Structure 1
Amino acid sequence: MLRSIVEYYAEHGGYRCGYCRSPTTNFSHGMWAHTLTVSDYQDLIDRGWRRSGKYCYKPTMDVTCCPMYTIRCRALEFKSTKSQKKVLKRFNKFLMGQNESEAEKGRKMSTCSSGSEVLGEGFEEGVEQYVETTREPQDMNIAEIQSCQMERLNEIIDSNTKGESSVQMDVNTLPKEASTNVQKPIKKDTGPDPSKAPCKKAKQLRRERKLEKLKEKGIDVSSLNTTSKNNEKQIEEFINELPDDVKKKLEIRLVRTTPPSPEWLATSKETYEVYVKYQTIIHDDKPEKCTEPKFKDFLVRSPLLEEFSETGPPCGFGSFHQQYWLEGKLVAVGVIDILPKCVSSVYFFYDPQYMHLTLGTYGALREIEFTRQLHTVCPELKYYYMGFYIHSCRKMRYKGNFAPSDLLCPETYKWFPLKDCIPKLELSPYSRLDPDIDSVDTNYPTERDIGYIPVYLNGAIMTYKAYKRKIGTKKNDSADEVQEYAILAGAKAAKSLILAR
């Protein structure tokens, strides 16, 4: 039978915070995990614990300078934002061999069905520039301002139209000073031309072109729902919409790191090299801090035991690396734990050469898609844990963009939607997120629970009450410390974990 064995450390703190850079305000509790079953670790992270290598820690939320709230994304309900969709599309275009200029062409100019052309982003940027440049110094007279404004506006229109179409600017859109000496054009008609078809939006035109391509391939499009606004494209569709003849092949391999699999051992050198590039260039770490032993202690060695079950995923539970291979070259690695209820993200690093592809966001989206994929064979597995959400640190709020997400209440250990928690966190960095003042921690250990905590001593396992009888009144035992450990771990985990003394 697989068992978890841990050593508990009392609260320690007064060390440097990695978020606000305060030198002595970070506090947490810790335990060294010799081994951990995946179910025990699932219980621990649902009480605010996280692991770094074999070391598990739980921030002292009401004391530490930057409270860290456990955050999880409801992967089955995940809705990608516009910016996240752009990341997926940009990556797909990269795989298809399209450079940035080619990718932008479609957005620069869209065509109306009537045949008239609409100016693209270049014109919009020019107008913004025009508005900005009308803010002249106060000592210029009105005539000079009017002349300057009109010259700049004409330059913008000329540079964007390039002689391909004539553009008539309504003087009502100009600032009042610039329009005083301009003769207003006489409007011959009012309203749209009834003899011409109405202009279509670019999105509708793209949909029609896509349907035409499907028809050319012999696909029946009559049964496709092309008008429903609720028929939103899912993340899998963005990932799988690539044609078969992509110019650059991306392969994602899942390799087990603990115990080391042959696949991991064969690729350990390449993985370490990417890690060093990432840490030294992206995080500006000194090379001496990125030694191979430290890398393995941090991101390879794990306390999680390898477990398989009939209801679990084919790869089993435990600790893995998701390797991103581009044309046979390792470009990114996602360090993950696969647990009974979730995929837990530990770390993500990539080759800085591909920074322009926003690989951090792309990796998170692929891990959400992977979570949804595992759910099809393991119904209980339906969450994506992203570590900690730190609202007091602006750069760490990005995790809230993966919605819908929940935060763990630090007092009752119940989950609440992030959007409902934001107002409380705006008022105070530390907050009880449970709005029910009568709600309590249902996993709080009783005195009886503490008595049945398994304890390991001199090669034997016994209950804590038997352990106290055995050692008598020896000074090395601390009842308060064991009680603190039980409260932090929760009654369920405390009665399952074996506490080494």
Structure 2
Amino acid sequence: MSTEDHLKTMISLGQYIPNRHCGYCGSSNGSSIYGLNALSLTVDHYQQLMDRGWRRSGKFLYKPDLKNSCCPQYTIRIKESAFKPSKEHRQAINKFNRFILGSQYDSVQKLSMTSKHAGFNLSTSIHCAEYGNIPQTIRENIKHRLTVKLVTPEFTQEKYALYRHYQQYCHKEPLEQITPSGFKRFLCDAPFSLVQGAYCVTADGKHVGLWHQMYYVDGVLVAMAVLDFLPDTISGVYFMSREDYSKHEFGKLSACREILLSHEENKPYYHIGLYVYHCQKMKYKASFKPSELLDPELYEYFSFDKFEPELAKRLYVTFDPAYSNPLRTVSGRQQSAFSANMSGILARSSVEAIFDDFNVTLIIQNRSMLGTHLKALLPDVYKSLHHTLVEMEAVIGVELFEQFAISVN
């Protein structure tokens, strides 16, 4: 049987990676993850992985080990129907609209019914300053021309120039380390594009897979959001903007727009990425209320308000009443997820007891076979893979793991 005849999600063998540099606190060896490459991935499967604490960087999928990391990264999401813009969100939106519209701000506000007397409406407030929504009689008198559009994620020099500028001023990255290939790998490549029907616009105009949302002011690209459109959510992958637009609080503006976009695309949730409680740059994410954090043991979402007092007392928080494992400090370079006592995984003995060779699909030399067949044909090869496969099932989750094909080429 060929790989085309089998599953649409194919992943590489996984690996536990301890003692990594932490981008949040700067520790040289404080972060630990479990990682693998996605050779192809359906949007449905990726959403299920996200709801188990996974994220992606290009085609690399990783699950932070919250228990063994200096800065635990919690999955955070917002239910779009419950979101209420705060005073600071409304101020940021109105301030930016005033910058775009200039002297015509009040006129547009009245026409769009977003005055103080009419109340604040997120949809009209977000869209009222876009050039295509401004009445012809007013357009010639506005200060700037704002255009926002969703485009496919191909590499362009225009996008790369913005990325290069942003990495240099925001992250202080040396120019020689910023490359076109790095940009493409990080923000243009996605495993969704390798799955038929998982990178498109549907018949009813809804987006699927990876897209870039472009912000133009007077024809100049000033900001760009990288977004994953999944079955029940939009996931914010990355956002970048020009340094001279930092005063416009694009972090708040873009998140408000993406929450609204979730509503427009009939997605009940918006994932705003990962949240680190003690990281100052992450504080803005907690301002989008009501939000929920993913429990790293139960894989259930609980309100941020429930998590916050616990996070103020300790780094690792779970509401699992059965949880009693002490924290483990990972040392050395050869740790496995089992020996590190990684957060949110089944014990090795539990997985071994239910591990079924018939439910493991392996891709070897572009051919698909069940684990039990490999064990019969090449027992030594299968034996060398067994520990890794059991560990992958423990980290990914039994039901989800058994839906994937594992490439061992």
The TM tier, using the shorter chain, reads 0.7 to 0.9
Name the structure 1 match of 2:54. 49
Report the alpha carbon displacement of residue 46 of structure 1 after superposing the two structures with TM.
0.9
Name the structure 2 match of 1:346. 237
What letter matches 1:492 in structure 2?
Answer: E
- Aligned partners of 1:15, 1:309: CA distance in 2, in Å? 36
Does residue 284 in structure 1 map to residue 169 in structure 2? no
Does residue 390 in structure 1 map to residue 395 in structure 2? no
Secondary structure at the aligned position of 1:473 is classed as helix
Report the alpha carbon displacement of residue 449 of structure 1 after superposing the two structures with TM.
5.5
Q: How does 1:296-335 map to 2 (within 5 A)?
A: 296-305=184-193, 306-307=197-198, 314-335=205-226
- Aligned partners of 2:204, 2:356: CA distance in 1, in Å? 33
Does residue 422 in structure 1 map to residue 347 in structure 2? no
What letter matches 2:148 in structure 1?
Answer: I
- Aligned partners of 2:33, 2:257: CA distance in 1, in Å? 31
What letter matches 1:298 in structure 2?
Answer: F
Name the structure 2 match of 1:466. 373
What letter matches 2:221 in structure 1?
Answer: L
What letter matches 1:304 in structure 2?
Answer: F
Query: What CA deviation, in whole Å up to 9, does each residue of 1:115-151 have, x standing for no partner?
Result: xxxxxxxxxxxxxxxxxxxxxxxxxxxxxxxxxxxxx
Aligned length: 366
Name the structure 2 match of 1:22. 27
What letter matches 1:349 in structure 2?
Answer: M
Q: How does 1:165-184 map to 2 (within 5 A)?
A: none
Name the structure 2 match of 1:118. none
Name the structure 2 match of 1:410. 296
Change over 3 Å in CA distance of 1:210–1:346 after alignment to 2: closer
Kept in 2, the 8 Å contact 1:320–1:335? The answer is yes
Kept in 1, the 8 Å contact 2:345–2:394? The answer is no
Name the structure 1 match of 2:319. 433
What letter matches 2:180 in structure 1?
Answer: E
Unmatched runs of 5 consecutive residues or more in structure 2? 325-343
Report the alpha carbon displacement of residue 58 of structure 1 after superposing the two structures with TM.
0.6
- Aligned partners of 1:313, 1:385: CA distance in 2, in Å? 23
Secondary structure at the aligned position of 1:431 is classed as coil
Query: What CA deviation, in whole Å up to 9, does each residue of 1:286-325 have, x standing for no partner?
Result: 1111111111111111111352799886244111100111
Moved more, 406-415 or 394-403: 394-403
Query: What CA deviation, in whole Å up to 9, does each residue of 1:54-99 have, x standing for no partner?
Result: 111111121111111111111121111111111100111011125x
- Aligned partners of 2:185, 2:400: CA distance in 1, in Å? 25
TM-align CA RMSD: 3.1
Report the alpha carbon displacement of residue 437 of structure 1 after superposing the two structures with TM.
6.8
Moved more, 234-243 or 360-369: 234-243
Change over 3 Å in CA distance of 1:382–1:346 after alignment to 2: same
Query: What CA deviation, in whole Å up to 9, does each residue of 1:144-200 have, x standing for no partner?
Result: xxxxxxxxxxxxxxxxxxxxxxxxxxxxxxxxxxxxxxxxxxxxxxxxxxxxxxxxx
- Aligned partners of 1:358, 1:402: CA distance in 2, in Å? 14
Does residue 357 in structure 1 map to residue 244 in structure 2? no
Name the structure 1 match of 2:328. none
What letter matches 1:324 in structure 2?
Answer: Y
What's the TM-score, normalizing by structure 2?
0.81
Name the structure 1 match of 2:150. 254
Kept in 2, the 8 Å contact 1:450–1:483? The answer is no
Secondary structure at the aligned position of 2:319 is classed as coil
Secondary structure at the aligned position of 1:84 is classed as helix
What letter matches 2:146 in structure 1?
Answer: L
What letter matches 1:355 in structure 2?
Answer: S
- Aligned partners of 1:459, 1:277: CA distance in 2, in Å? 41
Report the alpha carbon displacement of residue 392 of structure 1 after superposing the two structures with TM.
2.9
Q: How does 1:182-261 map to 2 (within 5 A)?
A: 233-242=120-129, 243-244=134-135, 245-246=138-139, 247=142, 248-257=144-153, 260=154
Change over 3 Å in CA distance of 1:54–1:437 after alignment to 2: closer
Kept in 2, the 8 Å contact 1:27–1:59? The answer is yes
- Aligned partners of 1:9, 1:55: CA distance in 2, in Å? 10
Change over 3 Å in CA distance of 1:210–1:238 after alignment to 2: closer
- Aligned partners of 1:210, 1:456: CA distance in 2, in Å? 59
Does residue 484 in structure 1 map to residue 391 in structure 2? yes
Kept in 1, the 8 Å contact 2:223–2:239? The answer is yes
Name the structure 2 match of 1:11. 16
> Larger Cα Rg: Structure 1 or Structure 2?
1
- Aligned partners of 1:296, 1:429: CA distance in 2, in Å? 34
- Aligned partners of 1:397, 1:356: CA distance in 2, in Å? 17
Does residue 275 in structure 1 map to residue 182 in structure 2? no
Secondary structure at the aligned position of 1:317 is classed as strand
Report the alpha carbon displacement of residue 468 of structure 1 after superposing the two structures with TM.
2.4
- Aligned partners of 1:454, 1:24: CA distance in 2, in Å? 35
- Aligned partners of 1:494, 1:389: CA distance in 2, in Å? 26
Kept in 2, the 8 Å contact 1:26–1:65? The answer is yes
Secondary structure at the aligned position of 2:152 is classed as strand
Report the alpha carbon displacement of residue 419 of structure 1 after superposing the two structures with TM.
0.7
- Aligned partners of 1:232, 1:97: CA distance in 2, in Å? 21
- Aligned partners of 1:394, 1:86: CA distance in 2, in Å? 21
- Aligned partners of 2:276, 2:296: CA distance in 1, in Å? 13
Kept in 2, the 8 Å contact 1:28–1:59? The answer is yes
Percent of residue pairs bearing the same amino acid type: 30
What letter matches 1:393 in structure 2?
Answer: C
Report the alpha carbon displacement of residue 238 of structure 1 after superposing the two structures with TM.
1.5
- Aligned partners of 1:301, 1:395: CA distance in 2, in Å? 26
Change over 3 Å in CA distance of 1:450–1:339 after alignment to 2: farther
Name the structure 2 match of 1:127. none
Unmatched runs of 5 consecutive residues or more in structure 1? 104-205, 220-225, 376-380
Kept in 1, the 8 Å contact 2:83–2:290? The answer is yes
Report the alpha carbon displacement of residue 281 of structure 1 after superposing the two structures with TM.
1.2
Query: Which of 57, 62, 84 is the equivalent residue of 2:67?
Result: 62
Report the alpha carbon displacement of residue 210 of structure 1 after superposing the two structures with TM.
11
- Aligned partners of 1:272, 1:311: CA distance in 2, in Å? 28
Secondary structure at the aligned position of 1:428 is classed as coil
Report the alpha carbon displacement of residue 459 of structure 1 after superposing the two structures with TM.
1.9
